[in-house]
Amino acid sequence: MTGMLQGEHITVRYGSFTVVDDLSFRLEEGQWLMLAGPNGAGKSTLIETIAQGTPYTGSIRWQDEDIRALKAASLAQKIGVLAQKNNVGYAYTVEEVVGLGRYAYKAGLFSGRDDDGKAAVEKALEITGLTELRHASMLTLSGGEMQRVFLAQVFAQNPQVLILDEPANHLDLKYQQHIFSLIQEWLAQPGRAVLSVVHDLSLARRYGTHAILLDHGKTVSQGTISDVMTPDNLKQVYGMDVYAWMRDMLSQWQEPSQPDTGI
């Protein structure tokens, strides 16, 4: 079966250092594929590679077509990428930055025509809780607000696949829950899929349908979330008993016991 997006034998090297080593994946409609693994495992490099920002060997295909053959605007209508390192060095407003997500739909470089653009930007601002900040300068935002702006930009882009590098970055707990639930709702529409890098394994388990565990650029395990996130696989990759650590963390959150009133 052909996936929406699939990579075969992807290898990325920086000089003699192999950062991603013969990795293959298939992302199908309705799947949320979580990419997990320790610092330096190659997760962001894989995302950059899919976004065509890094030279690689192997192939990445959109349905049956090698994405190297697609024009940038056509690729941007299919795949929306949230990079890990986002920055805006000028005083653009929130809505201007979100509006950049519509670039792929403009008829030409200097054309302002994008009939659905305004509504897409409005909706993206609204669902990410940014409507009131729409005229704020990017230079004045907090880290979490800025992260929401870049998420809004990929939503405004209205792609079929979201590729998100650490979407929870800088988000407080309320917005982690809000944004992850939003992505889950977005995914419930036909013809969509998500691939994301996550460090928080609880978020991965809660929202992911599938996972790839990466270590030193190599796939240690891939498959359904429950087949991948086993104690043995996690121990191999993180060098610790992740299940025991999670239980230990959770045990601190018992509800305070009610005082005994003697009645």
Range in contact with ligand ATP (rule: CB under 6 A) among 32-40, 63-71, 148-156, 181-189: 32-40
Q: Which helix (H) or strand (E) element contains residue 201?
A: helix 201-207
Residue 39 or 254 with smaller CB distance to ligand ATP:
39
H-run or E-run covering 33: strand 32-36
Site for ligand ATP (CB under 6 A): which residue of 2, 9, 29, 40? Answer: 40
Query: What's the min distance (Å) between Cβ of 83 and ligand ATP?
Result: 11
Cα–Cα distance between 221 and 237 in angstroms, integer?
10
44 binds ligand ATP, rule: CB under 6 A? yes
Using the structure block, give the residue that is written with the tokens 């996130």.
229
43 vs 148, beta carbon nearer ligand ATP: 43
Task: Give min distance, CB of 42 to ligand ATP, in A.
Answer: 4
Structure tokens that stand for 250 in this block: 């959770």
Q: How far is the CB of 195 from ligand ATP (least distance, A)?
A: 13
40: three-class secondary structure by DSSP = coil
45 binds ligand ATP (CB under 6 A): yes
In the chain, the N- to C-terminal Cα span, in Å, equals 66
CB of 40 to ligand ATP, least distance (A): 4
Taking CB under 6 A as the criterion, the residue among 2, 14, 206, 245 binding ligand ATP is 14
| Spatial separation of the C-alpha atoms in residues 188 and 30, rounded to whole Å | 7
The DSSP bridge pattern shows strands 193-197 and 32-36 to be parallel
Report the site for ligand ATP in 64-123 (rule: CB under 6 A): none
Does 41 contact ligand ATP by CB under 6 A? Answer: yes
- Please identify which residue in 1, 16, 39, 87 interacts with ligand ATP, judged by CB under 6 A: 39
Q: Which is nearer to ligand ATP, 23 or 79 (CB)?
A: 23
Query: Taking a C-beta distance cutoff of 8 angstroms, is the pair 210, 225 a contact?
Result: yes
42 touches ligand ATP (CB under 6 A): yes
Q: Specify burial of residue 17 (Cβ count, 10 A radius: 0-12, 13-18, 19+).
A: exposed
Among 5, 19, 104, 203, binds ligand ATP (CB under 6 A): 19
Span interacting with ligand ATP, options 36-44, 106-114, 124-132, 156-164, rule CB under 6 A? 36-44
For the record, the structure tokens of 11 come out as 């290898």
Assign 208 to helix, strand or coil. coil
Number of residues that bind ligand ATP (CB under 6 A): 10
Q: Which amino acid is at 151?
A: L
Residues 6+ apart with CB under 8 A from 59: 7, 8, 9, 10, 66
Q: Which residues bind ligand ATP (CB under 6 A)?
A: 14, 19, 37, 39-45
